[in-house]
A and B are shown apart, each in its own frame.
Chain A
Amino acid sequence: MNTQDLCFSSISDLASRVAARELTALEVVRSFLSRIDHINPAVNAYMVVTAEQAEEDARRVDREIAKGRAPGVLGGVPLGIKDLIDVGGVPTAAGAHRRFHYTPERDAPVISRLRRAGAVILGKTNLHEFAYGVTNINPHTGPVRNPWDPSRIPGGSSGGSAAAVAAGLCAGALGSDTGGSIRIPSSLCGTVGLKPTYDRISRAGVVALAWTLDHLGPITRTTRDAALLLRVMAGADPGDPASVKAEPPPFDEPSEDGLSGIRIGVPRGFFWERTHSEVYAAATGALRVLADRGATILDVDLPHAEDAGKAVAIILSVEATAYHERRLRGSLGAYGDDLQVRLLRGFFIPGTDYVLAQRARALLTHEFLSAFHGVDVLVTPTTTVPARPIEEDPGAGAAVSLTMSTELTRFTNPFNLTGMPALSVPCGFARDGLPIGLQIVGKPFDEALVLRVGHAYEQATEWHRKRPNFGHRS
């Protein structure tokens, strides 16, 4: 296996080969570090690469194996971490001005869980400033570039994580998702992204964007890998009393019967409107594939779906402004143009409107749950369009960023509002070579079925195996 093949291996494959001593963890980590040296300057996915610590951690895994001890289910697996999640001793920058950086002494609980399972942290990945936007055009860190076309955005806000996975710069990555920030970059970069059920994963040690909408989750190249990371990341944490105790059920691969007996609901109307023709065609083709695998396709009705984004916009605006208020009053000029507009607007929303949006959330959650009475999962496109060009004109940047947020979160943010697990899997490419994503949504805490449907789709298609072409750099 050459270095490139190794860097595009699945997490489960890497872990099993390290455990079987076919590869050392140090060899794996050094392969990724070498690739990061060559590729990252073109993508800008990593902000910090903790090479020395990663090599030391890999040696520790190898020593455990040499002593005959099990290295953990992620033994020697190199991961990238979105730079708003605390990694002990490494500055948390959140894509922000350096005056807002801090260096945590301890890992966030989710990082501790990954380390206990043997994972090796390669570094911190780039993001939209404070995770508040979907372009990853960042005035402090520079734009992340889409590995499939460097003139395009990767989507965000976890764009560095998705770009790193797509470019083979880590085996998997962590992202956060408040309105679609795991699923949008996964769709635009051709990766798998899972936003689990709200409260499934502890948010302690993570820079908040909007407390009642924030989720953490994995970005990977396969659904099996997403399932593996979810199993490690999920669980109760005393630092985040809201995190649920229940472990996610084991990932259940489809049997010989494929998806026989599974009912897939297609919410017509809102979730398919304003969709680029190639996205529509790819998602419709994916439904045919799922039907061929044995699923029954049924139309479902979500009469107020369009109102979900309105409630999200109000809740997000108010909570984000509340989180940043002290910094805004002292250091408004340290925020980028689009962040200043996004954060200032929250001051002008009355408290009654915030409660109104939360009451609408209750109504919409009941309505979305009702839609599951006759179906097992919902399927929609993940985004309306493939990746847009990077806006190079700073004067137009703020307006473009705000417009893109509305456009790209259209199909994703309803499931932040309702807290349901939602997965994006690659389902095709536009004619210009840009990836397209399919969103699979489940009932609360039913990640296993969402992953099972995604895995069945992967088994019938080759989209997830495609790699971006870096020419001489690859």
Chain B
Amino acid sequence: MTLEELEHLAGLLGFSLSRERLEQLLPEVQRLREHAARLRELPLDPEAPPLRFAIP
């Protein structure tokens, strides 16, 4: 993802961010995407997410 792409996405989400803020944000977004890429390599086929729904 480039800075320009991030700026575009932020705009679609309704945020107009300064260049400085985008520059701080970009490495964090990239880091989290790299984390997700690594997690995709895990043997997750049998795993369901442990999300809880309870009728009150």
**Residues in A neighbouring B9, C-beta threshold 8 A:** 348
**CB-CB nearest in chain B for A309:** B35
Nearest CB on A from B45, distance (A)? 9
A341-B14 contact in complex given A356-B36, A360-B39, C-beta closer than 8 Å = no
Chain A: interface residue total (CB-CB under 8 A): 35
Q: Does A14 count as interface, using CB distance less than 8 angstroms?
A: no
Q: Please state if A363 and B42 are interface contacts (CB–CB under 8 Å).
A: yes
Q: Please state if A241 and B40 are interface contacts (CB–CB under 8 Å).
A: no
**Residues in B neighbouring A402, C-beta threshold 8 A:** 28
Please measure, in the bound complex, the distance between the C-alpha atom of A345 and the C-alpha atom of B29, giving whole angstroms: 6
**Residues in B neighbouring A353, C-beta threshold 8 A:** 32-33, 36
Q: Please state if B47 and A363 are interface contacts (CB–CB under 8 Å).
A: yes
Q: Does A362 count as interface, using CB distance less than 8 angstroms?
A: yes
Q: Does A317 count as interface, using CB distance less than 8 angstroms?
A: yes
Chain B: interface residue total (CB-CB under 8 A): 31
A359-B24 contact in complex given A241-B56, A314-B36, A347-B13, C-beta closer than 8 Å = no
Looking at the complex, which one of B14, B15, B49 makes contact with A355 (CB distance below 8 Å)? B49
Looking at the complex, which one of A344, A349, A359 makes contact with B49 (CB distance below 8 Å)? A359
Nearest CB on B from A345, distance (A)? 4
Please measure, in the bound complex, the distance between the C-alpha atom of A241 and the C-alpha atom of B29, giving whole angstroms: 34
Q: Please state if B51 and A344 are interface contacts (CB–CB under 8 Å).
A: no
Q: Please state if B50 and A399 are interface contacts (CB–CB under 8 Å).
A: no
Nearest CB on A from B50, distance (A)? 5
Is the contact region of chain A dominated by helix, strand, or loop, or is it mixed? helix
Looking at the complex, which one of B24, B38, B48 makes contact with A398 (CB distance below 8 Å)? B24
Q: Does A9 count as interface, using CB distance less than 8 angstroms?
A: no
Nearest CB on A from B6, distance (A)? 7
**CB-CB nearest in chain A for B34:** A310
**Residues in B neighbouring A108, C-beta threshold 8 A:** none
Looking at the complex, which one of A310, A332, A340 makes contact with B38 (CB distance below 8 Å)? A310
Most buried by A among B6, B39, B43, B48: B39
Q: Does A16 count as interface, using CB distance less than 8 angstroms?
A: no
Q: Please state if B44 and A332 are interface contacts (CB–CB under 8 Å).
A: no
**Residues in A neighbouring B42, C-beta threshold 8 A:** 304, 307, 360, 363
**Residues in B neighbouring A357, C-beta threshold 8 A:** 35-36, 39
Nearest CB on B from A163, distance (A)? 28
**Residues in A neighbouring B50, C-beta threshold 8 A:** 358, 361-362, 365
**Residues in B neighbouring A347, C-beta threshold 8 A:** 10, 13, 15
**CB-CB nearest in chain A for B6:** A348
Nearest CB on A from B21, distance (A)? 7
A361-B52 contact in complex given A313-B32, A353-B36, C-beta closer than 8 Å = no
Nearest CB on B from A405, distance (A)? 11
Q: Does B3 count as interface, using CB distance less than 8 angstroms?
A: no
Q: Please state if B36 and A307 are interface contacts (CB–CB under 8 Å).
A: no
**Residues in A neighbouring B33, C-beta threshold 8 A:** 349, 353
Q: Please state if A359 and B47 are interface contacts (CB–CB under 8 Å).
A: yes
Q: Please state if B51 and A358 are interface contacts (CB–CB under 8 Å).
A: yes
Q: Does A329 count as interface, using CB distance less than 8 angstroms?
A: yes
**Residues in B neighbouring A310, C-beta threshold 8 A:** 35-36, 38-39
**Residues in B neighbouring A307, C-beta threshold 8 A:** 38-39, 42
Please measure, in the bound complex, the distance between the C-alpha atom of A340 and the C-alpha atom of B17, giving whole angstroms: 10
**Residues in B neighbouring A314, C-beta threshold 8 A:** 32, 35-36, 39
List 12 A–B pairs whose Cβ atoms lie within 8 Å, in order of A's numbering: A241-B56, A314-B36, A317-B32, A344-B25, A345-B25, A345-B29, A347-B10, A359-B47, A361-B50, A362-B49, A363-B47, A398-B24
Residues of A within 8 A of B (CB): 212, 241-242, 304, 307, 310-311, 313-314, 317, 329, 332, 337, 340-342, 344-345, 347-349, 353, 355-363, 365, 398-399, 402
The 7 lowest CB-CB distance pairs between A and B, nearest first, are: A358-B49, A310-B35, A362-B47, A353-B36, A359-B47, A345-B28, A360-B39
Q: A344-B15, A360-B44 are in contact. List 7 more A-B contacts (CB 8 A).
A: A241-B54, A314-B32, A332-B15, A348-B32, A357-B39, A360-B47, A365-B50
